[in-house]
Structure 1
Amino acid sequence: MTETNLYVVRHGKTMFNTIERVQGWCDTPLTKEGQEGIHYLGLGLRDVPFTEAFSSDSGRAIETSRIILGEHTHGRKIPYSVDNRIREWCFGSLEGGYDKEMWGVVPRVLNFKNYDDMIETDVTFQQIAEAILAADTANWAEPYEVLRDRVWSGFEDIAHRREKNGGGNVLVVSHGLTIAFLLNLIDSSQPIRAGLQNGSVTRLTYKNGKFSIQEINNVSYIENGKQLSKTLLN
């Protein structure tokens, strides 16, 4: 049986990413810069033999997937599906506000002075999720247990089905905090990662019901794509 690998990509840079606004279940499209970066990523991944591809149901993830598959050597033949379980966290009434506002409120709910003070401690994703839930005046944010089960079942189902069907490489386009949360669910010693770059690749292997982390936040595929682009133009 072929090894099962998930190439988990954070979507390309969007309008809200650029102006530093909270973007969970709300959505904005990729900027021109974001599209360009994902075109390079697609070139960098073009020869990876993907057996199938998935993205969340958010427009920015769908747009990212289509660009990557459009650059892939066999992109038209790769089955592609969306799965709403691998979308970003829902931030409720905090959606659309400035990042600094949300990350100013959340530490205060948890009795920290500021964001840096919070991150430098042993704060957990569960505490952050519960603080977001407490700060959400619209009652839309997800309780931690719902969030945990959603994210885990989404990625685990993708990996488990692929393993049952002979293994192979799977492209999965998701979101920054969701990917960071998944890493922590796989390995509780993983830190709270707030800096996963747009278009970065986090590669996981899956065997007998267990994930192993192979690489995190790898942007070399984008750099390789840039070099390939120059070669193709010459």
Structure 2
Amino acid sequence: MEIMAKFTLYVVRHGQTYFNIFNKLQGWSNSPLTQKGIDGAVETGKRLADIDFKATYCSDMPRACKTMSIIDDQNKAFNVCPPMVSPFFREQFYGYFEGLNMDETWYATGAPHGAPTFKDIITKYDMDHAKDFMKEADPFHLAENAEEYWKRVNQGLKLITSNPNLEDGDNVLLVSHGNTLLSLVDRFSEPGQFDLSVRPANGSITKMIVDGDQIKVTEYNK
């Protein structure tokens, strides 16, 4: 029987990008970090500088990798644990809506279901419904629905929890994306524990306790 460690997972959203400023969906598309995004990643790195991370993981999107690299520069522990970069930790794929205006996209996605804004969708339904609604609204039906999304992200979680080098009490870092972070919090927090209509800030830190297959969110968007 495989015995998994109990550890703290720090999940960081990448630094601000130009698409963030322009209010555009990025998903599997990408735009560079702004200077504010770079400076914010430095500050996040300083906040994490004294934490001994035994393992680090990162989405393979350039904005996440750049953020990880900047955080890396602030933390000497990274010298002995280079990040494992994987597409498992990517943002949701938005299909036809990649690069389009967020508000217009969420209207097209949620309005047929009586929820014309992202906040309405999250309040009335949840993150999984948001994914299913988007695939339904995508004229090419290429956007990831909840089943497709979690099939991918669960492989990433398995990659982390099955790390044989982790021991009880260790700290692990993951740099990922806004909606992926929201999806994790939506799935692994108590109902009403956090206001998920508030998106995680660029460079913010969310903490989770991982105990085998059990995950509990303890802090969100700090």
TM-score by length of 2: 0.89
1:195 is aligned to: 199
Identity of counterpart residues, as a percentage? Answer: 30
Which protein has the larger Cα radius of gyration, Structure 1 or Structure 2? 1
Q: Contact 2:128–2:145 at 8 Å: present in 1 too?
A: no
Map 1:21-170 to 2 at 5 A: 21-121=24-124, 123-161=125-163, 165-167=166-168, 168-170=170-172
Q: Choose 124-133 or 87-96, whichever is displaced more.
A: 124-133
Aligned residues between the structures: 216
Aligned-residue RMSD, C-alpha: 2.0
Q: Partner of 2:199: helix, strand, or coil?
A: coil
CA separation of 1:113/1:200 partners in 2, compared to 1, >3 Å: closer, same or farther?
closer
Structure 1 gaps of 5+ residues are: 219-234
1:201, distance to aligned residue in structure 2 (A)? 0.6
Rounded Cα–Cα distance in structure 1 between residues aligned with 2:197 and 2:89: 17
Rounded Cα–Cα distance in structure 2 between residues aligned with 1:179 and 1:2: 22
Rounded Cα–Cα distance in structure 2 between residues aligned with 1:114 and 1:166: 43
1:93, distance to aligned residue in structure 2 (A)? 0.7
Rounded Cα–Cα distance in structure 1 between residues aligned with 2:83 and 2:158: 17
CA separation of 1:145/1:119 partners in 2, compared to 1, >3 Å: closer, same or farther?
closer
Q: Choose 46-55 or 76-85, whichever is displaced more.
A: 76-85
Q: Choose 200-209 or 110-119, whichever is displaced more.
A: 110-119
1:47, distance to aligned residue in structure 2 (A)? 0.8
CA separation of 1:192/1:149 partners in 2, compared to 1, >3 Å: closer, same or farther?
farther
Q: Contact 2:126–2:186 at 8 Å: present in 1 too?
A: no
1:106, distance to aligned residue in structure 2 (A)? 1.4
1:193, distance to aligned residue in structure 2 (A)? 4.1
Rounded Cα–Cα distance in structure 2 between residues aligned with 1:183 and 1:65: 21
Q: Contact 1:57–1:84 at 8 Å: present in 2 too?
A: yes
2:218 is aligned to: 214
1:18, distance to aligned residue in structure 2 (A)? 1.0
Q: Choose 166-175 or 32-41, whichever is displaced more.
A: 166-175
1:126, distance to aligned residue in structure 2 (A)? 2.5
Q: Partner of 2:181: helix, strand, or coil?
A: helix
Amino acid at match of 1:170: V
